[in-house]
Amino acid sequence: MSTDPTTSFYADNAALYAARKRNLPTSRLDAFLAALPAGASILELGCGAGQDAAYMLSRGFDVTPTDGSAELANEAEKLIGRPVRIMRFETLDASAAFDGIWAEANLLHVPRSDLPNIFDRILRALKDGGIFHSSFKAGAAEGHDALARYYNYPSAEWLGALLNEGGWRDIAITEADGGGFDGKPTKWLYVKART
């Protein structure tokens, strides 16, 4: 059993987390998919219960779903009916393999000091001109939520500078109010970038 509270939370609550009421981010998914060629290869990082992967598969895209939690990967497999690769972000080692990478509400758990390495790995895994989508809970300093999960809580300025330094192009960061599993109001940052 992991001693990391974030990892332990998802291991211990996978079925509950997978069964939660969640509004599919349809407008963000549609915008992401519209920027890709038909049938494009997509890597989904942190697929959770698999709802986003199921949506992209239903639109005819070649999706490789992954999650760092074996328990959540198992829940996602039940929904999408295909294997989910158990993979932590820091082990991503693909090179020019994907047209797009979708990382909705998961890189927000990466320690700030590790984000440059993870962004580099994502950049390498994308083909030239590839599209990257991610989302983060906005804030000013890293910390933990009421459920003991770690969050990097970046500002739009901090995140934009980090991506710019990493060699990303066409970086766009938008903000929106929303919520999360903990039921608390949340300011979200939505990131779009290109290789």
User: Would you kindly state where each structural domain of the chain is located, as residue ranges?
Assistant: 5-183+190-194
Segment 106-147, tens digit of pLDDT: 999 999 999 999 999 999 999 999 999 999 999 999 999 988
pTM above 0.85? yes
For residue 62, the model assigns a pLDDT of 98
For residue 3, the model assigns a pLDDT of 65
- β-bridge partners, 51: none
| The domain over range 5-183+190-194 is classified in CATH as 3.40.50.150 | yes
For residue 8, the model assigns a pLDDT of 81
Query: How far apart (Å, rounded) are the C-alpha atoms in residues 67 and 3?
Result: 18
Give every residue of the chain whose pLDDT is below 50, as ranges: 1
Taking the CB of residue 83, how many other CB atoms lie within 10 A of it?
11
Q: Which residues contact 7 (CB under 8 A, 6 or more apart)?
A: 68, 69
- Picking from 121, 191, 120, 139, the residue whose alpha carbon sits closest to that of residue 160 is 191
